[in-house]
Structure 1
Amino acid sequence: MKPALLPGATLGVMGGGQLGRMFIHAAQTMGYFTAVLDPDAASPAGRVSHHHIATDYLDPQGLAQLAGLCDAITTEFENVPAPALALLADSKPVSPAASAVAIAQDRAQEKAHFVRCGVPCAPYAVIDTPEQLAAVDEALLPGILKTTRLGYDGKGQARVATRAELASAWAAMKNVPCVLEKMLPLAAECSVIVARGADGQMVHLPIQRNLHRDGILAVTEVYAENMPAAQVNSALAAAKSIASGLQYVGVLCVEFFVLQDGSLVVNEIAPRPHNSGHASLDCCDVSQFELQVRTLAGLPLVQPRQHSPALMLNLLGDLWFVRSEQSTTPPWAEVLALPGAHLHLYGKATASKGRKMGHLTLTGPTVEAVRATALQAAALLGIDAF
């Protein structure tokens, strides 16, 4: 075990989006200097960091500059090239490791890891070749065809009910490697965020119950008894098994489907903080981003404590166009007049439909009060009720 990096050290992050921005805020609050590598000169994280290196993720000079500035480096999203993380690890501590990120970048490898860990996932088949396409078991239909790489927020996916639809969807995806997952009878979705240190110690955030719309997270509810205890315990055990199997260091999100019979199957992992964990900024004494700082710096991990029920609404760019075809600022003053409203905007210059612009967390003394206030906020913003 290396000695902990104490405040005053410089922590780096690959990626300049909103997750990087919130990591930067957490690190700076704790007294660290920060550096961001992202090709966008106006990236949300780059705007608030002490240093911003505006180069491609695989640019040798940019990577050398980041390594020269930083005492340790993390990543804010899973599609940062794993080889870049491996190169940085030659000279500086990097977490999560390139090997873990590489597994999360490939659905086929990801599912194989779930199987090795003994964690249930949906029945599936890998489709890399026409022969594998022809050999697909009929029992996997109807199913969802997903590209093995670069799919997120519902992108790179297609529902297929027949072999003909499967063949057509694979052709539409340019015959890239894919995974076909059997469609299962879903009752709900949830996620678990764990943080694991280099010493193997693990802590976790409260389990999050999630609602997706059009493949994008819309609402997250976090409060005691939001799910039955047996499901909570099953999800926590599975998430910790997956993290341990990767020898993971950092913050890891594990997403689950809850089936109609009450059982859980793992959907996918994200080797970073996650949209569903944002409520921890306002409802827990330790957020997912502080946990990311602690795991990267080698600081002690403490079990987060939730002090308020919470509900989070994702704020997509669509909300800027509810009242007009031209971009119009949502009614933030009215929203912020609601009790327990916490607005987080990500510093993105322009709004567009489907783009994550921010989130709103509602906290309060009771679940009923939080839900009522959240529905008021949704009505003000033009978000469909839930």
Structure 2
Amino acid sequence: MTKALAPGATIGIVGGGQLGRMLAMAAARLGYHTAVLEPDRNCPAAEVTGLHISAPFDNGKALERFASVSDVVTYEFENVPVSAVRSLNEQLPVYPPPEALEAAQDRLAEKIFLNSAGVSTAPFASVDNDEELARALARFGGRGVLKTRRMGYDGKGQRVFRSATREEVKGCFAHMGGVPLVLEGLMAFEREISVIAARAADGSMVAYDPAENVHRDGILFRSTVPAAISPTTAETAREAAFTILSALGYVGVIGVEFFVMANGTLIANEFAPRVHNSGHWTEAACLVSQFEQHIRAVAGLPLGSTTRHADCVMTNLLGAEQEQATALLAEPDVMLHLYGKAEARPGRKMGHYTRLLPLDGELRHNPAGGSASLQKG
């Protein structure tokens, strides 16, 4: 794509979850139509898009129709068949490139790529049976995180070893599904952070301030900005994200997760070739959200400002926690976003809210009961 999409063009989105929904909303603000390819007839994005093609991602006829109505295609999650994305890319531009999707889908390939790009990771080993697991754990001092190489997310498909015994290892490969696995060394880190960054087709790049993340049961619970890290560590994280973007010839928004060690150095955990849960705060605390940033990039528009106008804390609402909505809406400093999902299952992301604070980190309310003041002093 050599020039920006004109208003009225259609951006195709593969996947109709909450990220697809928020991308479609951002596209509409910039004057674009959207089409969504998603098997689930009741997906969150269906309510806000102009066209919902309800079919499997690898359905040939659906892909043909999807390509025929789209001017450019993107995707909202990484568990999409690479073959389908490559098929679309033969007909029209697809951003981020299929190579980014392919690298992110396989945790072993992802670690190899990151190391080849000069980005440090935890030590890792491929595991295809119990014997290989035992040998790898011996190298890592009996400590490690065993993960399925593919299809894992939100803590699924993982097992932690802190002092592995022979009995713990026996039968583990079969218990994990008998699928290819990767063992990662268990790192003694101080905190987890993530960087949301973006790259345009012309090579220009921007990054938001790192967020400090807290997980519960493998699911992101809360992101706080700014993270409690030094300016040097923050800049190192942004530069690592830029290195990854450049190495992939990337176009769009990426989320990169890091472990922060006691000395301030960084170990990359993983990257997501899409907008990211830990970047939802940007819609409340920045002029240009990660969702608009992604649409700008894939549409060939100039990238926007990543400057914050506030400190903030973003919290996910899981399952029945969405019942807090009314109380949250009564707070003057809170922006609430619900995803329109019909069923509130335990652990299911139903929405999120972002509480704004002044840039000095102290929340101050208007004495008259109005909106919060963001002034210092």
- TM class, shorter-chain normalised? over 0.9
8 A Cα contact 1:158 1:169, kept in partner: no
Residue 167 of structure 1 and its aligned partner are, at CA, apart by: 4.0
CA contact 2:17–2:76 (8 Å) conserved in 1: yes
Residues of 1 paired with 2:8 and 2:60: CA distance? Answer: 26
**Structure 1: segments with no counterpart, 5+ residues:** 321-329, 373-386
What is the rounded CA distance, in whole Å, between the counterparts of 2:81 and 2:133 in structure 1? 28
CA positional deviation for 1:366: 4.5
Aligned-pair CA distance for 1:261: 3.0
Q: Distance in 1 between matches of 2:357 and 2:232?
A: 26
Aligned length: 362
Distance 1:274 1:49 in 2: 20
Asked if 2 retains the 8 angstrom alpha-carbon contact of 1:145 and 1:166, the reply is: no
Change in 2 beyond 3 A, CA 1:170/1:131: closer
- DSSP 3-state at the match of 1:61: helix
Is 2:199–2:252's contact at 8 Å kept on the other side of the alignment? yes
1:129-161 CA-to-partner distances (Å, cap 9, x unmatched) read: 566335426131211100000111110000123
Q: Aligned residue for 2:341? A: 348
TM-fit CA distance, 1:166: 3.4
Q: Does 1:149 align with 2:142?
A: no
- Where 1:24 maps in the other structure, the secondary structure is helix
Question: Which has the larger displacement, 331-340 or 128-137?
Answer: 128-137
Structure 2 CA distance, aligned partners of 1:31 and 1:173?
46
Q: Measured at CA, do residues 122 and 371 of structure 1 come closer, stay the same or move farther in structure 2, by a change above 3 Å?
A: farther
Counterpart pick for 1:261 among 260, 263, 266: 263
| Identity %, equivalent residues | 46
What TM-score do you get using the length of structure 1 for normalisation?
Answer: 0.90
Where does residue 176 of structure 1 map in the other structure? 179
Q: CA RMSD in A?
A: 1.7
- Pairing 1:83-232 to 2, within 5 Å after superposition: 83-129=83-129, 132-133=132-133, 135-136=135-136, 138-140=138-140, 141-160=142-161, 161-162=163-164, 164=166, 165-223=168-226, 226-232=228-234
Q: 1:244 to 1:135 in 2, by over 3 A?
A: same
| Alpha-carbon distance between aligned partners in 1 of 2:324 and 2:320, rounded to the nearest angstrom | 14
Is the contact made by 2:35 and 2:51 (CA closer than 8 Å) also made in structure 1? yes
Q: C-alpha separation between the residues in 2 aligned to 1:272 and 1:167?
A: 37
Gaps of 5+ in 2: 366-377
Task: Give the corresponding residue for 2:314.
Answer: 312
CA shift for structure 1 position 334: 2.3
Contact 2:188 2:261 in 1 (8 A): yes
2:249 to 247, 251, 261: 247
| Closer, same or farther: CA 60–345 of 1 in aligned 2, 3 Å | same
- Deviation, 1:54, is 0.3
- Name the CA distance, whole Å, in 2 between partners of 1:105 and 1:270: 9
| 1:70-89 to 2 correspondences below 5 Å | 70-89=70-89
